[in-house]
Structure 1
Amino acid sequence: MIMNDCKSKRYCPVLIGLTGFYCLVFVFSAIAPSSRAVWVAEIIPALAILLIIWLVSSKFQFSRTAYVLMFMWLILHTIGAKYTFANVPFDWFNQLIGSQRNNFDRVAHFSIGLYAFSIAEYVYRNYMMDKRSAMMFALFAIMSLAAAYEIIEWWYAAVAGGDEGIAFLGSQGDIWDAQKDMLCDTVGALTALTLFVLNTPSRE
């Protein structure tokens, strides 16, 4: 397991290594994206989350597991920004589940839910919540963020309009896309919290 904390150093080597790898993915994503406007709109939240991770990590060191789970979404989202989520080369997975729809965005939404692990860890260790309360807080936080992002996505698509708005929305003609995205976020959170139960980080 990759649970050990990095409390002896200012920044965890895993965080530094993952950030280095993310920078390579970022460069790959930035080179000739399908739509530069969509890329900018998609990459801003990714960079904001990366900045928040580093700012929080300057005072609070997450476990290695938390860092790995957090970077999964960053990497997937940045890849999606390059192609637009509906056009990421993902045929092998779509064929595996027998779907004609590109489900890369669903996997990316699932990875958002994995942040529940780091949220639960933070409040469990920093605010001395009991495990159950920390997990419930993390679950509701992810569900709230998922709903908020769908609202922002709708707003941007409405303002941008045209092909750019459709590409950013990424619904691919599914009228229940927003609800399914939020479900994927929630399933990801429940998966992360199951891992949290099995490997609860030390409070020390």
Structure 2
Amino acid sequence: MDPWHLGFFVTVVAMFFWSAIKPASYLMWMMEIAPLLAGLVLLVVTYRRLTLTTLCYGLLAVSFIWGAIGGHYGFTHVPFFDWLREHYHLQRNHFDRVGHFIQGATVTMVARELLLRLTPMKAGWLLTGYVLSIGMALSMSYEIFEWAVAALRLPMSVEFVGMQGDFWDAQWDMFLGLVGSVLALVSLSPFQDESLRHRSRL
């Protein structure tokens, strides 16, 4: 295994264990960590058959770590972002907003790599359109999932949705996911293309 990939894996697993130690709510922790854990298992199972670039694994590691922190404290109560809210007189804790930005960037670059490697698609506007659509579809799906949790009045639904009194919370989340997707495509695509060219020469 690539040393960087192993380092990412060990760090993520350590963060998952840390997040499970006296979280704010074990139910909330399970709701937040379960999909991340499923994703991590999928990456481990498919590692030898479909090894992604270090760029993608790095982005995925950041997403998993962000989710572990949010699962431990609750996405609306991460201490540092509470301090930012109080110090700069912000209206809300923005930890979850940053998380949606990271999610957009991560999903976009992973989807781009998979399409380039597993389909006949080449870099260009068509690929960009597909990748952005995939990123927005995932953002929308997550917001629908949050709405379903709230509509069913499941335990901890208010904390899970994390609107913090913002009527436009879902729209902001999707918008920031889109911003993350666009910025990732603009700034990281050249590095990803070079990594894929290097892989093809091996």
User: Is 2:3 aligned against 1:13?
Assistant: yes
- Count of aligned residue pairs for this structure pair: 193
2:127 counterpart of 1:147: no
- Which of 63, 66, 72 is the equivalent residue of 1:73? 63
Stretch moving more, 138-147 or 97-106 = 97-106
Alpha-carbon distance in structure 1 between the residues aligned to 2:43 and 2:154: 32
Are 2:95 and 1:101 aligned?
no
How far residue 175 of structure 1 moved from its aligned partner, in angstroms, is 0.8
Residues in 1 aligned to 2:127 and 2:52: alpha-carbon distance in whole angstroms: 15
User: Which residue number in structure 2 is paired with residue 202 of structure 1?
Assistant: 196
Q: 1:86-143 CA distances to partner (integer Å, 9 max, x unpaired)?
A: 1111135446765231000000111101221121012112323111233322211010
Provide, for residues 174-197 of structure 1, a one-character-per-residue CA deviation record: whole Å limited to 9, x for no partner. Answer: 111011001111111112111333
Partner letter of residue 128 of structure 1?
P
d(CA) in 2 for partners of 1:128, 1:92: 48
Distance 1:97 1:14 in 2: 37
Select which of 128, 131, 136 maps to 1:138. 131
Give the aligned residue type for 1:189.
S
Deviation at 1:55, TM superposition (A): 3.1
Residue-by-residue CA offset, 1:136-167 (whole Å, 9 max, x unaligned): 222110100100011111111232446x1100
Q: Is the 8 A contact 1:12 1:61 kept in 2?
A: no
TM-score (norm 1): 0.86
Partner of residue 78 from structure 2, selected from 88, 98, 101: 88
1:111 aligned to 2:105?
no
**Helix, strand or coil: the match of 2:22?**
coil
What secondary structure does 2:91 align onto? coil
Identity %: 34
What is the aligned-residue RMSD (CA, Å)?
1.9
Q: 2:24 aligns with which of 30, 34, 40?
A: 34
Q: Which amino acid aligns with 1:110?
A: F
Q: Give unpaired runs (5+ residues) of structure 1.
A: 1-10
The correspondence for 1:58, drawn from 19, 34, 48, is 48
- Secondary structure of residue in 2 paired with 1:113: helix
Instruction: Give unpaired runs (5+ residues) of structure 2.
Output: none
What is the TM-score when the length of structure 2 is the normalising length?
0.87
**Contact 2:53–2:196 (Cα < 8 Å) also in 1:** no
